[in-house]
Structure 1
Amino acid sequence: MTAADAVTAVLLLAGAGFCAVGALGMLRFPDLLSRLHAATKPQTIGLLLVLAGLAPQADSVASSTPLLLVAVFQLITAPVTAQTIAGAAYRAGVVDPATLTLDETDRAT
């Protein structure tokens, strides 16, 4: 087993662990905003760890470039999607404003 194989094994296991914790949070958390948190943060970190684990196995920099692109797009789209879903749910009245620590929307006044 080479050093690259060891790094890959550790990163893949860590990424799978983060994804599993995020999935467990999706099942266990009580409300939409908590579930969105579980769907974005640990899943994003898990995917980044998996991609980092795949990078040492790539033959060249050119073959690992798509991994970098996937990571960048994940970092851009996950927070935007979560923010959009949370905003739509708030406007639809699904989110209870009393559960929020700070509410800076026009609806609170």
Structure 2
Amino acid sequence: MDSTSDQKDLGNVIRGHKANLHNPNTSQEAKKHSKEVLEELGIETSGFVSEISGPDVNIEGKNPGNVAGGYKATLHNPNVSEKAKERAQEKLEEMGAK
């Protein structure tokens, strides 16, 4: 597979997981999985998954470096809203990450 195809496939994966988070017929377990996949890809999910994670995301059992990396990626992503960037910055400060 060439890199163009890989990028299109990744785009489809991202769109599928985002759709899953908005689908009222999807289980909470499936939504949690989609949220985790998107965050591993550095995509901010706090704007549309509050019903899953609540206002304070619990990182227990997760690699704090990966979580911080996701928030840092959010800060540098030009496609992320300023509100999401502010939240990511707050979370990094709460974690003590630089």
User: Above 0.5 in TM-score?
Assistant: no
Higher relative contact order (CA 8 A, sep 6+): 1
Higher fraction of helix? 1
TM-score between the two structures when normalised by the length of structure 1: 0.31
TM-score between the two structures when normalised by the length of structure 2: 0.34
Rg larger for: 1
